[in-house]
Amino acid sequence: MQSGRSHCLHGLQWLYSMVMKRMRLLSDSGPFSQRKGPDPVPTPGDNELLDAYSRAVVGAVDKVSPAVVNIEVVQVKGQSARTAPKELQGAGSGFVFAPDGFILTNSHVVHGAAHIRVALPDGRSSDASMVGDDPDTDLAVVRIGLANLTAVPFGDSASLRVGQMVIAIGNPYGFQTTVTAGVVSALGRSLRSQSGRLIDDVIQTDAALNPGNSGGPLVNSRGEVIGVNTAVILPAQGLCFAIAVNTVKFVAAGLMKEGRIRRSSIGVGGQNVPLHRRIVRFYKLPVESGVLVQSVEPGSPAEHAGLQYGDVIVSFGGAPVAGIDDLHKFLTADRVAIPVPLAVLRNTQLISLQVVPGEKPP
């Protein structure tokens, strides 16, 4: 009897010791552990990933930042016979894209400027002359006469993918190499310019644009310009936009060649209007809206074509016109002096006209 009681006692002691040992192990390694010691060392994979990201950003900034400039402008407004002229100062960013002094920036930074001065990251500064600007795409080219300039290469915005890392670099108010990094949030956006036309193929990114960053480059990890920073939606966070570099290439070439971008015009003022569903079904129209003609300029191509107040344009060159933005897209430089068929609704009748667009005045 005594022997059985002894074996039972030894068994309980062994069980108790095992339970306590297990509890100590859980206490030392569990979430409530009070053990002191150094923090866990990150895995090599995490370090390598962080280093790769950092190297990409630093490498791109080192390559591009010597070409990013600060632009200061003076505009003269309010001059009349009774009032003295008033000088307004503004600033923005830009970047050298050709070693002989050509600089890209936003049109809204330099448009109408009486005086433009450019400051380089190396401390040099120079007055700049206006080569040309295009408010319809919010792009402009200015030129300085300094030597030994670093130019940044262009990339290809058609190869961009949503989620790709991008870096926005600016020189706002003289704070050199202001850098933000993010990703491409969306492609193919449209943004309305100050002239009222839509800018197509706009890049949306969450790389924050600081005040004064307008006109600076948006670059990829290789240090190639894939966009020109142009706008930020102030009430929202992370909604920033850049003009795609493939658009920039076309506009910059035109500005350097002629000082402006040629477009065609037919000489009408209008607004978007919905079409009656019966008319859409009867004529089998591919659109349910059109452009209501509200004014026709005297002597314009529209007047010569027979367009009248109240007509609704529904087709241009055989392509449907659902609104003014569609009409703007079709009125390109290659349409100048080329007869184009025009379909309009006059009252309830669908009639065909022919218009010969002229060149839009600068």
156 is catalytic: no
* Dihedrals phi, psi of 199, to nearest 5 degrees: -95, 120
Active site residue: 134, 136, 138, 311, which one?
138
Active site residue: 185, 214, 264, 289, which one?
214
Supply angle C-alpha 87, 91, 95, rounded to 5: 140
Q: Tell me if residue 151 falls in helix, strand or coil.
A: coil
Distance of alpha carbon 62 from alpha carbon 67, whole angstroms? 10
108 is catalytic: yes
* Chain centroid, CA 129 distance in Å: 25
Active site residue: 93, 107, 108, 264, which one?
108
Q: Tell me if residue 67 falls in helix, strand or coil.
A: helix
Supply angle C-alpha 354, 359, 362, rounded to 5: 150
* Chain centroid, CA 163 distance in Å: 15
Whether residue 343 contacts residue 315, with contact meaning beta carbons closer than 8 Å, is answered with yes
Q: Which of 100, 150, 147, 91 is nearest to 118 (CA)?
A: 91
Name residues whose C-beta falls within 8 Å of residue 240's C-beta, 6 or more positions apart in sequence.
Answer: 168, 204, 205, 206, 207, 208, 209, 229, 231, 232, 233
> How distant, in Å, are the alpha carbons of 308, 321, 359 from that of 336?
21, 19, 6
Distance of alpha carbon 260 from alpha carbon 224, whole angstroms? 25
3-state secondary structure 263-288: EEECCEEEEEEECCHHHHHHHCCCCC
Q: Tell me if residue 214 falls in helix, strand or coil.
A: coil
93 is catalytic: no
Tokens of 125: 């500064």
Amino acid sitting at position 57: V
Which residues are annotated as catalytic?
Answer: 108, 138, 214
